[in-house]
Structure 1
């Protein structure tokens, strides 16, 4: 079953985040050890995660790159450990085709690529792997992306980029039914850019490709609090803002949300659906 088929069958999907990194912005490396990462993933499944997103390289602003070999050593044992007991769809969060290949071989069925398959050999690997693909927009790279990002029209530019990458993926042999889009909240965007993209969820979701919204615990929530005169929150204090963004995105047509706090998001969606 493709991710789109699962979404059509089950309604909005919740993707739970598992960072197998020592420098994650959201959890400070709490799940860097394989056993800790597997235990966290199991807790997310029990809390209601429909999909797990496993990442072995931090992509926070200013993050230090890691080698493909190190990334593979971090994520593959976690994927293999989960596959022994669970059949939940697993996504590999990477922009390296060699990491995607290793992850899919270990049991992953989704490739979540912040570079939208722009890396060398990525298009060919995606077609060969025949897995679901999430194409994300990012301006610059994690080392530079938050250094005064500028757009003439952020919505139009992100929209055009994502559609062009989808076309490139299909031309390489990736099935249209396997492609998802992600506007890349927080990846080379200011607070106002992020808010514009969230408001434009309906427009971005209107092209026939299901949309993922991934705003969980991100810094723009703290920036908005500061703008409104409140004290800025730490990453693990942004659950309320995360839920607000994701419910708005679902209302406007997003099909999946990527979150750290699965139980809270699950409850929010359940109540939201009951009230619609």
Structure 2
């Protein structure tokens, strides 16, 4: 049984005060259940988040990581630094990093490896643009993104990883892939990993991200290969995020 996973990606939002209130609301109101929950605040709030989340059921994650271990890389944050703040997860390959900061599949693969080497669990984001979907090359694009990781890290690195399918055209737009559209891509991702190792693919958690809200989470999470969500805007509201976490309760799949 794959345990459902829900992570909040706060992106570059909030203040120290609002972040603290949100974290406290989540800790106070998240009931125990058969799902794993994580939050990924901006770097500058990780220390505060570590203190608030200590001893809670909510794991801490970061939104990015350097592929380098240390050195003259101004503005970068290494995987070992993230471990100092009890981070369990780190997002790599988010479409905004790929599109706005030029991160190639090769760069994402190096970041994935940097996380794995230090014991952080990567949340690997993959997805296609609207133009690529309309051209009918969704499987090709996502296959290339996965193959870049498989070629460098090998399939065994996916044992501790989470894959997040995020159609670029649905991120922050209010548009959402239909449950059937999302399921089709999730099944393709699992099949791609299964080609290397059936057992690892069967246990791999693949989550959906792309305008997931309290109103559509249950329908998405009910699909066979959708094991939860990577939540953007809705994770900034405690009530909405908690509702999405509740929807994940019944999303455990064999």
Larger RCO: 1 or 2 (CA < 8 Å, sep 6+): 2
Q: What are the within-5 Å matches in structure 2 for residues 53-92 of structure 1? A: 53-56=39-42, 72=43, 74-86=44-56, 88-92=58-62
How far apart in 2 are the matches of 1:239 and 1:127? 32
Corresponding position: 1:175 with 2:157: yes
Q: Mark the CA change 1:194 to 1:110 in structure 2 (over 3 Å): closer, same or farther.
A: same
How far apart in 2 are the matches of 1:87 and 1:107? 13
What SS class does the counterpart of residue 216 from structure 2 fall into? helix
Q: Mark the CA change 1:85 to 1:38 in structure 2 (over 3 Å): closer, same or farther.
A: farther
Q: Which runs of 5+ in 1 are unaligned?
A: 1-6, 23-31, 57-71, 140-144, 218-237
Q: Mark the CA change 1:166 to 1:269 in structure 2 (over 3 Å): closer, same or farther.
A: same
How far apart in 1 are the matches of 2:249 and 2:53? 28
Aligned to 2:107: 118
Corresponding position: 1:256 with 2:228: yes
How far apart in 2 are the matches of 1:151 and 1:99? 37
Pick from 117, 123, 136: which aligns with 1:153? 136
How far apart in 2 are the matches of 1:165 and 1:120? 6
Corresponding position: 1:203 with 2:203: no
Corresponding position: 1:99 with 2:77: yes
Pick from 11, 17, 37: which aligns with 1:35? 17
Equivalenced residues, count: 209
What SS class does the counterpart of residue 77 from structure 1 fall into? helix
Q: Mark the CA change 1:82 to 1:169 in structure 2 (over 3 Å): closer, same or farther.
A: farther
Aligned to 2:88: 109
Contact 1:20 1:37 in 2 (8 A): no
How far apart in 1 are the matches of 2:215 and 2:162? 26
How well do the aligned residues superpose, as a CA RMSD in angstroms? Answer: 3.7
How far apart in 2 are the matches of 1:266 and 1:149? 31
CA shift for structure 1 position 156: 1.4
Q: What are the superposed Cα offsets for residues 174-223 of structure 1, whole Å, 9 maximum, x if unpaired?
A: 73312222221335889999447413133323430321112344xxxxxx
Tell me the TM-score normalised to structure 2 length. Answer: 0.64
